[in-house]
Amino acid sequence: MRKIEALKEVQALIGDTYMYAVIIGIVGIVFAFIIANVIKYGGGRNATDHIKRRVWYIIIGIITSIGFFLYNAFYVSTFISKAPLKAQFSFANLLATLVVLGIYAVVGILSMLLMRSTKWGSILGKSKK
């Protein structure tokens, strides 16, 4: 990556950051979906498999958000040389992290509602039959 010294360069970087935020949110959902399908159904009356899936869903969401924020804060922002531009990018980094969380939560929950009878849908709790 090269040094960023102009306002237009920071604005382009912010746009790229938002696009990467959407991509990271979707990648996190796909990874959580794969993990949810790897966890086996628990047999018996008091099965806790849906709780394991829910815990993994939350952990993956937290890790993707924190990882995205830290990558931008400690790697990408070091290439911005001027303090006002760095402050502008830091605020955009915060918003982009919220975009990652929002995409992860909204798309994840909507897809769980659509696939209610699958392992992925069981994250919301046991379905009433």
Q: Per the structure, how many domains does the chain have?
A: 1
Q: 24 lies in a domain?
A: yes
In whole angstroms, give the CA distance from residue 29 to residue 4: 32
Q: 4 has which bridge partners?
A: 80
Rounded CA Rg of the chain = 19
pLDDT tens digit string along 77-120? 999 999 999 999 999 999 999 999 999 999 999 999 999 889 99
Residue 4 DSSP label: B
pTM for the whole structure: 0.89
For residue 45, name the pLDDT band (cuts at 50, 70, 90).
Answer: confident
Domain that holds residue 115: 7-38+46-122
Q: 34 lies in a domain?
A: yes
In whole angstroms, give the CA distance from residue 108 to residue 99: 13
